[in-house]
Structure 1
Amino acid sequence: MSKTHNLDLLNNSISYFREAVNYAQRDGSETNQWKFAIVHVVQAMELAFKEYLRRIHPAFIWEAIDKPDKTVSMKVALARLRNPSIGKVAISNQEASKIEKAIELRNELTHFEFNHQHAHIELKFAEIFAFVMFFYRSHLGLTTAEFADEEQHQRIIRLVRARAELLEKTRAYIKQEDVGDLWICPSCTEGTFVVAEEQCCFCHHREKVVDCESCGQATLASDVADTSDLFDWEYDEGLARILEDFGMAHSGCPECVSSIKEKIEELRRAQYLEDMAMDARALR
């Protein structure tokens, strides 16, 4: 039984990988070709992860290891691979972030309106292609010939090298122009987001930089979260109003949201203890 499962996962992964390469190495710059290339290469990666987990123990390919009815999601598979007690695969936080971004992009391409330029998809494909190729070789023991023919391999390698060269030129530009503060770009996950320009100089992702309402520090608009759900609310005839906001900001950066939550919990505990003390005094 395990033999059959092994063939399904590994061969399906290789099949998706080869199909991804077929799309990526076509001449021209059709946006749809890169759409299908990224969808197929991410699917190949997901199946490769599951095959690696299966080799450790068949139970690890299931979402709940004691209930074999649903295989692991990509994020759970990635977490198990990185777990030192399970997969023991050395995947850096930055690399894991790139994988998660590719998963999000794949989901967006398959479930939502597609509005990405092919250059952005091309860059994402190059990242995941390189990672899957490394994973096949280092962790599944495959040779290049087992998952891509030589001509296709060389064409995609040139694409990966082109991305590396572009990143190198971007870093040289940053150094030469002294662009100021740099952040990790939420799109390409490279440290190339120029705060002053509100744009990544590598993938050209644009995003507003705003001040956190709570701490006043500059942060990306996408990182700001609403905190009003932490407050006490009153609902009456379909209308809702805040009864108590505890003097806290109604939005904040990730660090502040965590702090606001802790402070509100402390205030609620303090109020509860005070009410208990008052009730005790009233009964005397």
Structure 2
Amino acid sequence: MPNLKMTLLENSISFFLESVSKAIQAESDEDKWKFAILLLVQAIETSLKERLRRTNEIFVYSNIDKPRHTVDLGLAIERLEKISKVNLKQPDVKCIKTASELRNQIVHFEFDLSIDQIKSNFVSLVGFYTSFCRDHLESDIVSQLPPKLHSELLNLDSYIEELEKRASERMTAEDIPDDEIWECPGCKKDTFVVYDGIDTCYLCGHSEPVVECEQCQALEFEEDLEQVDFGNMKGWENYKSLCKDCFYKLENENPYEEYY
């Protein structure tokens, strides 16, 4: 009986093609979206491993002294930058981390994203994947898509562009200041409006509390604030919510007197 043997790149492309197929099916069966995302993340992870393999096959393994388990997305990024000297732009690093977060949500937690959020993330991840394969693996992935799948994928892309256009028009009509528009944690687009306490994404509808840092009064997503107990000599609790910058100063510069 013949064995099925595929290179890392062939495996990655196979994951990608199946992912796009699932995404198209998801237009009429939304349950297919989780499989589309999972397969796309696998395609991305495998492509990163292929680039590491081209540097040295041993770098594909998390422990080079005991080459059994392969690297995860985080370690792959680190090695690509430090060892393979692959210059990943910050948006690309963010895209890879988004891929990891989405997979963790699907596999280990409750998966609770709107369809618009899922589509937006899917299109962004496809963009990263095809660019990475072109720039670092000399492979034109899009050309390997069957014509029908390619056409349907472009329709998904156009859908997100239409949502972005409508969100932009709404923000302009409401005179939302540019500095009060953030990147949405849900769809990863610059369409989250914090102006006047709106705290909602105009593209995907994601809502999340935005509050002030109790030290510098800078606005932050509530879940990004660090809870620090300053207490007192009597052991009473005295929690303050600090933004990342203030928490960093507290941890590294130790300016306690500024926080009381």
Question: How high is the TM-score relative to the length of structure 1?
Answer: 0.77
Matched, 1:88 2:108: no
Which residue number in structure 2 is paired with residue 250 of structure 1?
240
The letter for the 1-side match of 2:201 is C
The letter for the 2-side match of 1:250 is K
Instruction: Report the aligned-residue RMSD.
Output: 2.8
The Cα of 1:205 is off from its aligned counterpart by 1.5
Structure-to-structure mapping, 1:1-284, within 5 angstroms? 7-26=6-25, 28-83=27-82, 86-89=84-87, 91-144=88-141, 147-180=144-177, 181-196=180-195, 197-228=198-229, 242=235, 250-264=240-254
The Cα of 1:186 is off from its aligned counterpart by 2.2
The Cα of 1:54 is off from its aligned counterpart by 0.5
* Distance across 1 between alignment mates of 2:145 and 2:253: 55
Q: Which has more strand, going by share of residues? A: 1
* Distance across 2 between alignment mates of 1:145 and 1:262: 47
Check conservation: 2:113, 2:186, Cα contact below 8 A: no
* 1:178-207 Cα deviation digits (max 9, x unpaired): 123122222233322111211111222211
In structure 1, stretches of 5+ residues that fail to align are 1-5, 235-240, 268-284
The Cα of 1:27 is off from its aligned counterpart by 6.4
The letter for the 2-side match of 1:112 is F
Question: Structure 1 249/213 Cα, relative in aligned 2: closer, same or farther at 3 Å?
Answer: farther
Larger radius of gyration: 1
Check conservation: 2:164, 2:203, Cα contact below 8 A: yes
Identity, % of aligned pairs?
32
Question: Structure 1 212/47 Cα, relative in aligned 2: closer, same or farther at 3 Å?
Answer: same
* 1:219-260 Cα deviation digits (max 9, x unpaired): 2101111123xx6899xxxxxx848x8xx8633111111112
* 1:104-130 Cα deviation digits (max 9, x unpaired): 011111122222222221221111112
The alignment covers a number of residue pairs equal to 249
Question: How high is the TM-score relative to the length of structure 2?
Answer: 0.83
* Distance across 2 between alignment mates of 1:27 and 1:192: 24
The letter for the 2-side match of 1:251 is S
* 1:82-123 Cα deviation digits (max 9, x unpaired): 44x52423x322232133122201111112222222222122
**SS of alignment partner, residue 168 of structure 1:** helix
